[in-house]
Amino acid sequence: MASVYGNIYSFFIGHHLVVVLNDYHSVREALVQQAEVFSDRPRVPIVSLLTREKGIVFAPYGPVWKQQRKFSHSILRHFGLGKLSLEPKIIEEFKYVKEEMQKHGEGPFNPFPIINNAVANIICSLSLGQRFDYTNSEFKKILNFMSRGLEVSLNSQLQLINICSWFYYLPFGPFKELRQIEKDITTFLKKIIRDHRESLDAENPQDFIDMYLLHVDEEKKNNSNSSFNDNYLFYIIGDLFIAGTDTTTNSLLWCLLYMSLNPGIQEKVYEEIERVIGADRAPSLTDKAQMPYTEATIMEVQRLTVVVPLSIPHMTSEKTVLLGYTIPKGTIILPNLWSLHRDPAIWEKPDDFYPNRFLDDQGQLIKKETFIPFGIGKRVCMGEQLAKMELFLMFVSLMQNFTFALPKDSKKPILTGKYGLTLAPHPFNLIISKR
């Protein structure tokens, strides 16, 4: 549509005006230069019913959101980059991934459940202070609920809730299923928060929940109207799970798929790993600086497969003018990150998989400001640092240990992806051989 109507165009969904921003210039102008106006979220009934407009991802923009995001971000930084470094947890988790993959021997297998379990476990250790065995029935159930919940929410019948919100309470079909899923996830997370409450040690907070609960207690003393409470924490943990599992899982799966399709590039990544890390030592974030080709490869996968292709919808909180267009208050804004990362004006041969586009003549990494898979502005992905750590350490560990290929007789995978809340690859099987 942008090729017909230009980089900023609009249409109506029902009576809602939607404006799509298709290039870096307009996205930056809106989300960075006019951040205060463009950082709200549209009120979507199904989302409001499930999140009660709390949490970080979907909550409306305002003072409460700012406080909650700032504090949550500082906890993530504390655990990711602070003394309770997350790196050993990611490396530890990879041992289980390796073990699971090796069970399949030379035979083809679907990597999705293994990668999904691992990524979810990293979020678990960060936020809940524990990891779960992949066979743990409670853990499997919750992961299934989460992916099923996302699937049914995007199912056509449930969209009726957005037209008439009381449909949410219908006692049959996907409506009933969604309420049950919500109930089960709520029970699971609230029990974990309760357990943390009981074992809270102010001197020694172990994870995200502990830090948050201590802050709640602190606030109670000083500020009776504080937005920090156990209930709000529940919605933030839900956000961390849903936003932190689905996206990173899909990024890693896309990496494996592109490596299987490009054995030459896979070999070059392995050569760099062998040169910098060797075969026996586990990778560390300190290796990143000496591994520009590996980083460029991850970035190129992210560029081609932006896992949140239309970002999460924004909304204008007041009337404004954007690059000559008047945009009314309450307009839904879709930053089209997909088209921005395939814009021929910025990227040469944008549809080709070519990691070298992120490297200079000396083979050093080039930071491109037009590469924004995590979004930009006030609503930039809160877990960006965490995701980059996970992607790097998991990807390098996988490449260091295995060669990935597609089964001999398999059809060439479709590379367009399945669009849900995120862009997931269509299911595919892999075969591995040990390095």
Q: How big is the chain, counted in residues?
A: 435
What's the whole-model pTM score?
Answer: 0.94
Residues contributing to the annotated binding site for heme: 381
* pLDDT at residue 113 in the model: 94
Which segments of the chain have a pLDDT < 70? 80-84, 155-156
Task: Calculate the dihedral angle through the C-alpha atoms of 6, 300, 395, 274, rounding to the nearest 10 degrees.
Answer: -170
* pLDDT at residue 338 in the model: 96
* pLDDT at residue 84 in the model: 55
Helix or strand or coil: residue 320?
Answer: strand
User: Which numeric CATH code is attached to 2-434?
Assistant: 1.10.630.10
DSSP codes, 67-110: HHHHHHHHHHHHHHHSSS-SHHHHHHHHHHHHHHHHTTTTS-B-
* pLDDT at residue 12 in the model: 96
Q: What share of the chain is helix, strand, coil (3-state, %, to 5)?
A: 55, 10, 35
* pLDDT at residue 422 in the model: 86
